[in-house]
Chains A and B, each alone.
Chain A
Amino acid sequence: MNLNLTLLGQLISFAIFVWFCMKFVWPPVMAALSERQERIAQGLADADKAAKELDVAQARIEEQVREAKEEASRILEQARKQAAQTVEDAQGKARAEGEKLIEQAKADIEQEVNAAREALRAQVSTLAVAGASKILGTAVDAKAHGDLIDQLAKEL
């Protein structure tokens, strides 16, 4: 229980240990601790940010998918419309063509008929002259009765 130099010895060694601790122990350990704390905080913040970004990306993906679907259905609709149009056009054209052909045929027929009629008419005048000559026993002067014959042919 004697108070003696041990007191001072202890005081000095205490000071030395505190100094040592202050120089070599405390700062690196605290630095490591705070750095790790920062890293973890950073990591958590990054994770949050990534999650948010993922949400945004997902929303964008959904948006894009929706847009693509709309576009696709629009294109499909258009194609369908176009196809219908094309068919309709083709039908119209075919019909017009057909009608034109019919028209032409009709015109041809009429022409033929007219030609035939003309030919007939010309022959009729000849026949009429011949018939009349036979009936009258004399030759009918075609020139003299030309007007009469032409009138007859026209009436036929």
Chain B
Amino acid sequence: MAAANAGEYILHHLTNLTFGKHPEAGWTFADSRFMTEGQNQYQATGQMAAEMGFMAIHVDTMLWSIGLGALFCFIFAKAAKFATAGVPGTLQNLVELVCEFVDTNIKDTFSGKSTLIGPLSLTIFVWVLLMNTMDLVPVDLLPRIFELFGVHYMKVVPTTDVNATLGMALGVFCLIIFYSIRQKGLGGFVGELTLQPFGKWMIPFNLLLEGVGLLAKPISLSLRLFGNLYAGELIFILIALMPFWIQFALSVPWAIFHILVIVLQAFIFMMLTIVYLAMAHEHH
């Protein structure tokens, strides 16, 4: 299923391996079986995935994100299990470095007391970092390997899937609402949404303003991460379309620059989560 031209190549790389319930074909992987005239196979696959609607799952995104999350849990739990207050080993040093970095950021921003925010921030930072790092794997390497096993679509960077980033952002959003209600009570939370900034005579307008502000949090959180990584991935794909003798000269600088983006976006996601939860904890 090699791509014939640049458009198809790009489309191929941007198509998820989708498993879902198709109105006609039932539960199956999306493929080009319903290809019509004037469509290429990737467009047909995309259309079939789109027809599945909400009842579909991106197998590659789930596979890589869960795999990387499990890797994170495995490494960190292993280090935590043998964590001593004595002289730390190499792995413990690394894990402690990350944990302390996260903890410092929390202490600078979050004034309340919570047993959740530490592990939450750590999970976000490391997990997003790992998922972003998949962007540095050569764009064709893993899809080619999977192609050998008959898997024709493989998007290996979970954070270039808006479902992944929005899923995490929704988790954060739930926590924002949970903490707001726990700290201020349901009435306090509703009051915060409706009684400011303009007082009780402007309730609908206030609700509109504050509601947009509240909803903007998960949306901006997820779309920022998604957009950055999607763009980065796209540029890697575009570079891969160039003649092989020039790819090196472009992809190396971009990869080096992208290391910054990868860490920065993971950090921003974590930092904004902390900030949002700190805001939810505060009384106005």
Contacts and interface: CB of A to CB of B under 8 A. Distances in A.
Q: Do A and B bind? A: yes
Interface of A: 1-11, 13-18, 20-22, 24-33, 35-36, 38-39
Interface of B: 16, 18, 20, 49-50, 52-58, 61-62, 65-66, 69, 72-73, 76-77, 79-81, 83-86, 88, 92, 95-96, 99-100, 103, 115-116, 118-120, 122-123, 127, 158, 161-164, 166-168, 170-171
B83 A28 contact: yes
Contact of B85 (A7, A13, A20, A36): A36
Contact of A4 (B58, B80, B86): B58
A17 B123 CA distance: 7
Contacts of B61: 6, 10
Contacts of A25: 73, 76-77, 80, 119, 122
Given A21-B122, A25-B119, A11 B80 contact: no
Contact of B163 (A3, A21, A31, A39): A3
Given A29-B79, A32-B96, A38-B85, 6 more contacts: A2-B163, A5-B20, A6-B161, A26-B80, A32-B88, A36-B86
A29 B16 CA distance: 37
A32 B92 CA distance: 10
Contacts of B168: 10-11, 14
Contacts of B55: 4-5
A31 to B, nearest CB: 7
B58 A3 contact: no
B123 A2 contact: no
Contacts of A6: 16, 56-58, 61-62, 161, 163-164, 167
B136 to A, nearest CB: 21
A36 to B, nearest CB: 4
B73 A22 contact: no
B69 A17 contact: yes
A20 to B, nearest CB: 5
